[in-house]
Structure formats: C-alpha cells, structure tokens
A = this chain, B = another copy of it.
Amino acid sequence: SILEIKTTVICPATQKHVKKYLSQEMLLVEETGEDYLSTTLPYIESQSFSVQWVYNILEKKAEADRIVFEDPDPDTGFVLLPDFKWDQKQLYDLYLIAIVHRRNIKSLRDLTSDHLPLLRNISKKGKESIQKQYGMSACKLRVYLHYQPSYYHLHVHFTSLNYDAPGCGVERAHLLTDVIMNLEADPQYYQNRTITYTLRADDNLLLRFREAGRC
C-alpha cells in the first residue's frame, strides 16, 4: 500500500547518528581535478578512513553468508551482496552493492581507461546475477557510483528503478554506463573533469574547501 510508512529505529543512537538524521544545510562544491589533488586527496589521507570492514567481507571474515555472487578475479572481480538498507523482503526497494577485489581504487577520481574491463565486468555480471537471483531484469535497475562515496574503496550501487533510493540524486550519483562511456572517450576523464557534488555544512571536507577559498 502507498500509505505504508517505513521507519528505522537506531538504539542506542550516538551523536553521529543524531547528526546524520538531523536536517542539515547542504552546499555545492565544484571540485576541479586540481582541487582534488590539493584539497580532497590530502583530506582523505589525513582521515585515514578505515576500510578494514570491506577487506573482511572480501576475505570472507564477515558477511560471507550474505554474498549473492562473487567473481574472484583479482583484477576484474568483485563481491555482490545486499545493502543493509534492504531487508530483502520485497523487490520494490532492491538494493545491492558490488565491492571490487582490487584495492587502492578510492573513488571515481582514481578511474582510468585501465579500469574499463573491471567496470564492464561489474555491469555485465552484476546484472546477470540479479536477474538470476531475484528475477529482476537489467532494464529495471539503476546502476551507479557515488561521488563523494561514503567509504573510499570502489563499490557500485544496484537499486531498483522504482525505488527512490537515498543518494541517487544527480548531485551524487554517476551512472555506471556513463562512467564507462566517459572513460572510453577520454582515458583521463576523471582526473581532469570538474565534478559537482554537495556536502553538509558541517562536513570537514567542506571546511577544507572553505579554507582553500574554493567555496
């Protein structure tokens, strides 16, 4: 029913959780390739965000029973599993994540034409697996990357087109088919292109951009 209301209960909630769900002013950043090198990359490195939990999944130390599909190839392989936002009880809000085996691809910004075989493999086998496992065809899927991502290890989102998934807005999502076409046209596209995205007013990266006089 369209009158159904879905809720998420977080208990106990930390200050970080409260902050995440509080309405927050968003601001636009137009990040040039130069901005990435001078501002964003040093910020990411200074935070030393841990992706150990991702490595635990890739090494089957965690969530091994949740894996829907795996291509073990170290260069072009990935693991596909349901996102935690999806309870898997119905298909309208289908949401899976493909996490690549290759390490040290932090985000869209690191992609070059060298990664085309990886990206095409994720597109093809991700869609095939979802068709096989859930009976949902590729023409009902939105397949995209986030920039900025919420963690700096390359992953691809697969969501149902009928689901208005959080983070599928034009200011954060990049369709995998567009990413592939951009890299086919220009191997250094994501090193040079100005990418527009939004940050919360209290995001530390936004403060860095402000300090750099870039917004």
Contacts and interface: CB of A to CB of B under 8 A. Distances in A.
- Identify the interface centre among A2, A139, A144, A168: most chain B CB within 10 Å of its CB: A139
Interface of A: 2, 23, 25-30, 138-142, 144, 161-162, 164, 168-175, 177-178, 181, 193-194, 196, 198, 215
Nearest to A165: B169
A140 B171 CA distance: 12
A169 B84 CA distance: 21
Number of copies: 2
- A-side binding surface: helix, strand, loop or mixed? mixed
B196 A30 contact: no
Contact of A170 (B25, B139, B162, B173): B173
A181 B138 CA distance: 30
Nearest to A198: B161
